[in-house]
Amino acid sequence: MRIAFEEESRRWLISNGLLEAAFQLTPSGDFQFQDLRHLSTSWTKAGIPAPSLIRFRIKDGAQERWWDGTAGYQLLSHRETPTSRGGRQLSITLQDHARRLELTVDLEMFPKDPVLRYGVRLRNLSGETLYLTGADMLAVDLAAAGGNYQALRVEQWMPVENPADFKANISPLDPSGKQLVIESGAHGRDCGWLAVADGSGRGLVAGWEFDGRANAAISHDALRDILKLSATIQGIHHPVEPGEEFTLPRAFLGAFQGSFEEAGWVTQRFVENALARQPVVRGETVKEFPFVGWDSWAYGQALHETTLRRNAEAAARMGIELFIVDLGWARNMGDWHADASKFPSGLRALSDYVHLLGMKFGLHVALAESSPHAPVLKQNPDWRSSKSYGYYGADSLCLSHQPVKEWITAELVRIIDEFDVDWILQDGENMVKECTKTTHTHHPLDSNYSNAVDGLNAVVREVQRQRPDVLWENCENGGNLMTFQMVQQYVTSILNDASGARSARQAVYGATYPFPARYADRYMPEERLDSYITRSYMIGGPWIFMNRLTEMRAEDIQFAAEEIARFKQIRPLIRNGRISRLSPPPAEGITDAIAVYDPDFGLGVAVVTRDQSPDSLPRVRFTNLRAHITYLVWFANDSRSLTMTGQQLAEDGVLIFLPLAQSSEIVYVEALR
């Protein structure tokens, strides 16, 4: 890592040997992002002298104006500090000419990733309350360096008639400067990420770390030779008191060379190396992660301890490691005490029994929802958000209202302690609520920001501080909070909620562009099992059975146990490896294939699935293997064992035997050393 400052020109250089970025404070006081260079491939996007990274709007009394890098700043200080996970941060502090605002630009790099992470902090130096009414988290203008560009975005999950379902959309950028818009955050259509590349494979990835709704955009102005990126927070109206410092959500910008597969790999590695919450319990990384789990939702809310105990016994015999009691365990949403009619022995007795069987105990909590009949709302009717989202008949609570935050935090800590909880399945409908109440502690126009940062994130962060050994799973009635803020507080996230085998493969195919595979957990609702079913859920994060184990046939239980054992063998590879898509997206009538490969250990595995394709002998070609290395190739079902070079695997491929119209095979590859 290298950070250098040229005092005479007031120019900074930050580099990690893979990526190099240069910034300058000009004699006229403009703060400019001057250059971004991908060193390992000699790829350069020479920066235009543009006022980038700083872009926000302040309401000061009756006046409202946008600020960028051209406000005539003076340099107050700059310093270099270490960050967590081996990163280095350069912080540059500026002051506007009127001495009403102090800005600090934070620039961060990590040793192994061609990625620049950055953010802006602003301090109110005036004697009056200022209001932040606009904020661009990305705020980057770069020289396009000619050529035509394509952009990749990935949808989230939305349970609507025309669902967004992690479809990966590749769109050409209009050279006239027309924007391609990405609607991200809670209840947005897209993940908070994009990638862009020209025809030669020179590309950029960008992500923004915010759970609330944001409209990102990318445009290519060929006439001016500018590639412009932005990610603006919607509906922000945040007061900044005199002397107070406000931190905008951070963003990151990375470089890659090659296909969009490479864009995904650059992002996945950066997320794991720099952002993602690790599955750590009592100071040790959980080696068994991602878990095999079971969730009670096949029973809906008709739960009973006797039924759950019988399922727990079956789950333990199958090798399941995590036992989750879903919605319906409490007296009511918001009344977070066990329903005595369902648990006459007490919910803690079930938790103890699950632990006795050697499994972890998980509990579903819709922390921002409450039944109108729950005591909390009868006693505090004003705690409702001004808009409710109808989650199983519940009203929505305003998470950014201070007494609500304090009550939910205390309730979650009590729940964890009282029921000895190892895993929280956080659920609800739109975790970033809309609330315009003037009686709450947030500004009535600021709920999109306040509910995201001061509400949801603050509550989760505080509970995790008090009970650090509990692991959290993100769920928003499905995978609808796929952001880079989410990964910092949860060890995994659901994708499309129990949508079936093909949909599970489709979701993993798209979601693993921006996110590591462990953030692609899948719920399996099927009870009649075969290889087509089970292996559709094999690649990804926690594999969670969502069926009635006690009603499954004996042969299905035995088959599930064998498949669970296969998953456990390959999960270290899934946890650390690189996702490769070896086929078009999964669909009826084709054979799809997705692989994961760990180049450090020379190990790989591919799941190949025939879904009503007419071809029972498809040929699958492997990518991302080393051409001149020899690999041993073997299969889960097929008795063949092959020896092939990486070049042969890429060019000739492997013939796969899939005799049934819906069937699946697992292919293993190992480098021979």
| CATH number assigned to the domain comprising residue 184 | 2.70.98.60
Mean pLDDT of 625-629: 91
Rounded-to-integer distance, Cα 97 and Cα 560, Å: 68
Rounded-to-integer distance, Cα 295 and Cα 543, Å: 10
Q: Are 178 and 194 in contact (CB under 8 A)?
A: no
Residue with tokens 């930050």: 14
Q: Which of 249, 275, 301 is the last residue of a domain?
A: 275
Query: Tell me, what DSSP letter sits at residue 364?
Result: E
Mean pLDDT of 28-54: 82
In a domain, residue 372? The reply is no
Q: Quote the mean pLDDT of the chain.
A: 95
Closest C-alpha to 368, from 397, 402, 334 = 397
**Domain span at 646:** 579-671
| Whether pLDDT at 91 is above 80 | yes
* Range with lowest mean pLDDT among 27-41, 334-348, 516-530: 27-41
What is the reported pLDDT for 547?
95
Q: Which of 220, 253, 275 is the last residue of a domain?
A: 275
Mean pLDDT of 396-417: 98
352's CB contacts (< 8 A; 6+ apart) are: 420
Rounded-to-integer distance, Cα 51 and Cα 23, Å: 10
- In the chain, % helix, strand, coil (3-state, to 5) comes to 25, 35, 40
Percent of the chain with pLDDT over 70: 98
In a domain, residue 337? The reply is no
In a domain, residue 71? The reply is yes
Q: Which of 247, 275, 303 is the last residue of a domain?
A: 275
Number of domains forming the structure of the chain = 2
SS3 label, residue 266? helix
pTM score: 0.96
| Whether pLDDT at 380 is above 80 | yes
Token pair of 454 as six digits: 């001061």
Closest C-alpha to 111, from 38, 42, 17 = 17
What is the reported pLDDT for 497?
87
What is the reported pLDDT for 45?
67
Beta 214-221 vs 226-233: how paired, if at all? antiparallel
Rounded-to-integer distance, Cα 379 and Cα 5, Å: 59
Q: Are 11 and 23 in contact (CB under 8 A)?
A: yes
624: CATH: 2.60.40.1180
In a domain, residue 491? The reply is no
Token pair of 21 as six digits: 């970025």
Bridge partners (DSSP) of residue 64 are 59
pLDDT digits (tens, 9 = 90+) for 424-480: 999 999 999 999 999 999 999 999 999 999 999 999 999 999 999 999 999 988 899
| Whether pLDDT at 42 is above 80 | no
| Whether pLDDT at 413 is above 80 | yes
The more confidently predicted of residues 61 and 18 is 18
Handedness of CA 418, 422, 423, 426 (dihedral sign): positive
In a domain, residue 217? The reply is yes
Own/partner pairs, 76-79, CB within 8 angstroms, 24+ separation: 76/102, 78/5, 78/12
**Which of the four pLDDT bands, split at 50, 70 and 90, describes residue 144?**
confident
How many Cβ atoms from other residues are within 10 Å of residue 553's Cβ? 11
In a domain, residue 325? The reply is no
pLDDT digits (tens, 9 = 90+) for 202-257: 999 999 999 999 999 999 999 988 999 999 999 999 999 999 999 999 999 999 99
Handedness of CA 308, 313, 314, 315 (dihedral sign): positive
| Whether pLDDT at 46 is above 70 | no
In a domain, residue 527? The reply is no
DSSP 115-151: EEEEEEEEEE-SSS-EEEEEEBSS-EEEE--SS-EEE
What is the reported pLDDT for 24?
95
In a domain, residue 120? The reply is yes
Q: Which H or E run includes 410?
A: helix 402-419
Closest C-alpha to 654, from 629, 618, 630, 626 = 618
Bridge partners (DSSP) of residue 543 are 292, 522
Closest C-alpha to 114, from 310, 238, 253 = 253
Closest C-alpha to 255, from 483, 3, 41 = 41
Rounded-to-integer distance, Cα 52 and Cα 135, Å: 13
What is the reported pLDDT for 600?
80
Q: How many residues does the chain have?
A: 673
Q: Are 193 and 275 in contact (CB under 8 A)?
A: no
Bridge partners (DSSP) of residue 107 are 90, 118
